Amino acid sequence: MSQTIEKAAPAGSGPRPLIAGTGLTIDIAGRRILDAVDIAISRGEIVTLVGLNGSGKTTLARALLGLMPLSAGRVDRQPGLTVGYVPQSLALDRTLPLTVKRFLGLAGRAVPAALSAVLDEVGLAALIDSQVTALSGGELRRVMLARALLHEPDLLVLDEPMSGVDVSGQVELYDLIDRIRRRHHCGVLLVSHDLHLVMAATDRVVCLNHHVCCTGQPDAVLENAEFRALFGDRVAQALAVYHHQHDHRHAADGRVVPIGHGAAGHDHAHRDHGGHDHAGDGPAS
């Protein structure tokens, strides 16, 4: 069985990814879960794994983190790489008193000022003394994200971060993840099955079906024949209706605000079914 290793980047090879998997293969009980998967995440980019349920997305994320033994392949990490991991679910005993402050403190030694700072960054400073079990789905996700940020990670790995969050909360969370990426200049690996919003919130998509079906910018992936074969032409066409450009952010009320513009104005670009781009000051009718 191959071992996960680190190695130095060859001289003159250019900027090295934060983490890269080469030929990642995992067999469990005679079943191939990952088949020769290549993936890399660089500083400052958001990479999203998409695929049907059971396609190996979470397994791939865990393999990159060294939490799954490899049957073949290797994982190369930058020396001293710090990773913040937000799992898909969190099992909590609802009878156990646990405040947000105490929950964050379980991540390791942190001064009160640091706890307050990360909660303020995710917009939950006022809930520091609240019980974790009393939080909404969106609030819990933000607290888990704050916990991952405590040690200033180079790489954030977020497994289904929108699980249990309503649509409005999902827009706000994607906006928050983008702000964190820009502020900390960290890499982000998202695992998601929600194609509609994630296509507007990522720099690069990796479509997985035990192997890499296709990878690239969202628009290119939507046009890829393997993506369409996996999800169907109707899904691909529906996702292509609105073409979100990466020069905007989503305000808390859901408005699209171009980077560098005031909060009062926004524009929105979309693509019609004929593939033509249009711009306006609001959603297309």
Mean pLDDT of 54-61: 95
The predicted-structure confidence for 114-141, as pLDDT tens digits, reads as follows 899 999 999 999 999 999 999 998 899 9
Close Cβ partners of 159 (under 8 Å, ≥ 6 residues apart): 58, 61, 85, 86, 87, 88, 191
Mean pLDDT, residues 143-168 taken together: 90
Going by C-beta distance under 8 Å and a sequence separation of 6 or more, which residues neighbour residue 229?
none
Question: In the structure encoding, which two tokens stand for residue 90, read together?
Answer: 């969190």
Q: Is 225 exposed, middle or buried (0-12, 13-18, 19+ CB in 10 A)?
A: exposed
Which pLDDT value is given to residue 11? Answer: 38
Which is more confidently placed, 21 or 232?
21
Tell me if the pTM is above 0.85. Answer: no
Question: For residue range 14-35, what is the model confidence (pLDDT) as tens digits?
Answer: 578 999 999 999 999 999 999 9
Mean pLDDT is lowest, of 47-61, 200-214, 252-266, for 252-266
The domain locations on the chain are: 241-285
State the Cα–Cα distance between residues 208 and 194, nearest whole angstrom.
Answer: 14
Q: What are phi and psi of 215, to 5 degrees?
A: -150, 150
In the chain, what percentage of residues exceed pLDDT 70? Answer: 79
Helices (H), the chain: 57-64, 100-105, 112-121, 137-149, 167-184, 195-198, 218-222, 225-231, 233-239
109 band by pLDDT with thresholds 50, 70 and 90? low
Q: Which residue has the higher pLDDT, 35 or 9?
A: 35
